Amino acid sequence: RAGVNISDLSFSKDIMKSSNIAGFTGGVMAEFMIPGLGVGVDGALMYSRHGSKLKFKDVTEIAGNVVGLGNSKTQKKLDYIEIPLNLKYKFTLPVVKPYLFIGPSFAFLVGNNISEEFKKRKFDTSINLGAGLELLSKVQVSAQYGWGLNKTLRFSDDATTINAKNRFWTITAAYLF
């Protein structure tokens, strides 16, 4: 399975504007369907890049360090090994099988370019909801939205606490053996 993530970080305070960045996702997947019912599960082991373009609104100071000047832009990246597990329902049509899926995703942080003032959570969970098409029982194309459940980034000092959560669209294609 390979594809693209379109992600951003959702911040708890309005000190910066966050906008989408594109990142690669790819890995291996397995699918197990109950014959005749159209119900099954799929799971994957994926590399996935999330992050955000940030535009600071004013001079932003955290713990005595200036991390953003008014109108300054920066791109932050978070690299994960991700394990999505989905409940899947396929509509049984002859050549093209539309399907819906929902499930949790568990992600382990393996790299980032975020400053040390922010605490990065090493483990992230999200809920994924998506739809796709299976062609000729071999090729799957899908789109999903992921809502991060954990506080991915956190900064806290005497005056301010800032949290951020992942939000992302993922579009993938998979070839089934």
pLDDT digits (tens, 9 = 90+) for 118-140: 778 899 999 999 999 999 989 99
Provide the percentage of residues in the chain whose pLDDT is more than 90.
58
Residue that has been written with the tokens 């459940």 in this structure: 149
Residues 6 or more apart from 83 whose CB is under 8 A from it?
A: 43, 44, 45, 46, 105, 106, 107
Q: 109 near 79, Cβ under 8 Å?
A: yes
First to last CA, the chain: 12
**pLDDT beyond 70 at 60:** no
Chain mean position to CA 24: 11
Residues 6 or more apart from 73 whose CB is under 8 A from it?
A: 53, 54, 55
For the stretch 67-103, pLDDT in tens is 555 556 778 889 999 999 999 999 988 889 999 999 9
Distance CA 170, CA 102 (A): 13
- Give the residue among 125, 39, 146 at the shortest CA–CA distance from 83: 125
